[in-house]
Amino acid sequence: MLEKQKKDLDKAKDLFFSWKLHEAYAVFRRFFDRLPFSPQPEHALYLSYFVRCLLELGKERELNFYLNQIENLSSKWQTDELYYQLAEVSILGAERNLKSAKELLTKVISNPESSYLHTKAKMLLAYCYDCEGDNVDACRRIIDSIEDSQDRPIQLSLELWRIKILRDEGKLDLAEEKMAKLFKELDPIRDWYAYFSGKVILGGLYILRDDKEQATQLLAETRAIVEKSPFKTLKAQLSALEEKLNTKPIAPELFCEHGIKGWTVFCNEKKIELSYQTLPAKIFELFTKKEWIDKSQMAKKVFKKDYEPASDDSKLQYQIHCLRKILLELDFEVDPISFEEGGYRLVPKVTIREGEV
């Protein structure tokens, strides 16, 4: 690569990290458009930044072209920079593919020669699990494995992840306390991306607390920030927060009957069967007695032993996922099972009716 070309691409990279996407896009495009597209391996990292610019600016036609190039080049060059960027686009692009992203990120993390990418790859992997829902335990394990960084933007992202996990674990007061402390360290101009992300996390906390007034005020403040930004993904986060605030559907009531072989559950003019012998049915039986069940009770009921977090959390999470999947066949508009600190809550009310004996 010629010295002038490298200087131009480094300038575009710096613009990218300063979130000046339009300026970065202009420099990248001038370079890559003049190629008869036969880039060299040293172009790989710059090409990945260009693709992220296209994604954030919503330039779908160009994105599809260059994304195809990256997919072809990643098999040829097999660089972790390209794997990471492919994973990012797989998650944030129009056609989300979490499975592919997780495989790519795991490949990056498992390569000791790419340790400089591990922190970013782990945070993106945690995001994959977060998108799947009810995976706060997996997110915590991943984030807890990341050491503090001397790089300010990365460290701020790590702190935000730690606070978000506390929030998702139901530790709302502690999460709010740590967020307030972090906001004191943030410069809204220099750290505007972290500042915005913190506002989104805090907005979700207010919604979980059902504090509509605080959430509405925060949403208005955050809207003013994001309107100045070209970031498509930021605007999507804000829209999702706004939707959560404005639409809070009520879960319909469940009606249950004891049968000879299992439970019959009715809702929305539909019904499902839960065999007594299955583990999801054992958890459901607990929910017919109490709407919130802690993990220790579940472990005793399901696994017939005392609760051991290290070995039981992922197993319980899987059984909850199975029960949720069954209940969703009843056409719920809301998640029928929510995670709260130390346990799970069945959202709809349950009424047991006399059935066949």
**Would the pLDDT of 57 be above 80?**
yes
Instruction: Identify the band that residue 50 occupies on the pLDDT scale cut at 50, 70 and 90.
Output: confident
Buried b (16+ CB within 10 A) or exposed e, 37-60: eebeeebbbbbbbbbbbbbbbebe
pLDDT tens-digit profile of 305-314?
A: 999 888 888 8
Instruction: Identify the band that residue 134 occupies on the pLDDT scale cut at 50, 70 and 90.
Output: low
Instruction: Identify the band that residue 356 occupies on the pLDDT scale cut at 50, 70 and 90.
Output: very low
**Would the pLDDT of 239 be above 90?**
no
If DSSP codes are grouped into helix, strand and coil, which group holds residue 1? coil
The mean pLDDT of the chain is 84
pLDDT tens-digit profile of 271-288?
A: 899 998 899 999 999 998
pLDDT tens-digit profile of 112-130?
A: 998 988 999 999 999 999 9
Question: Which residues are paired to 344 by β-bridges?
Answer: 293, 339
CA dist., res. 282 & res. 301, Å (int): 7
Higher pLDDT, 84 or 37: 84
Amino acid code (one letter) for 90: S
Residue spans in the chain of domains classed CATH 1.10.10.10: 254-353
Kindly give the residue spans of alpha helices, DSSP state H, lying in the chain: 3-17, 21-32, 44-57, 60-77, 80-92, 98-109, 115-132, 136-144, 152-168, 172-185, 192-208, 212-226, 232-246, 279-287, 295-303, 309-327
Q: Lowest-confidence range among 45-49, 139-143, 188-192?
A: 45-49
**Would the pLDDT of 187 be above 90?**
no
- CATH code assigned to 148-248: 1.25.40
Question: Which residues are paired to 339 by β-bridges?
Answer: 344
Q: Any idea what DSSP says for residue 343?
A: E
Closest to 200 (Cα-Cα) out of 185, 222, 220, 225 = 222
Residue spans in the chain of domains classed CATH 1.25.40: 148-248
**Would the pLDDT of 341 be above 60?**
yes
Phi, psi of 134 (to 5 degrees): 55, 40
Phi, psi of 265 (to 5 degrees): -115, 130
- CATH code assigned to 254-353: 1.10.10.10
**Would the pLDDT of 35 be above 60?**
no
Q: Which long-range contacts does 287-293 make (Cβ < 8 Å, 24+ apart)?
A: 287/346, 287/350, 288/256, 288/350, 288/352, 291/345, 291/346, 291/349, 291/350, 292/340, 292/343, 292/344, 292/345, 292/346, 293/343, 293/344, 293/345
Phi, psi of 287 (to 5 degrees): -70, -25
CA dist., res. 146 & res. 142, Å (int): 7
What pTM does this model have? 0.66
- Sheet with 343-346, strands from edge to edge, namely 292-294, 343-346, 337-340
Q: Lowest-confidence range among 133-147, 233-247, 309-323?
A: 233-247
What pLDDT is attached to residue 146?
96
**Average of per-residue pLDDT across 222-231:** 76
**Average of per-residue pLDDT across 167-183:** 92
Percent of the chain surpassing pLDDT 70: 92
Higher pLDDT, 56 or 72: 56
What pLDDT is attached to residue 248?
57
What pLDDT is attached to residue 53?
87
CA dist., res. 285 & res. 288, Å (int): 5
What pLDDT is attached to residue 136?
84
**Average of per-residue pLDDT across 31-59:** 74
If DSSP codes are grouped into helix, strand and coil, which group holds residue 344? strand
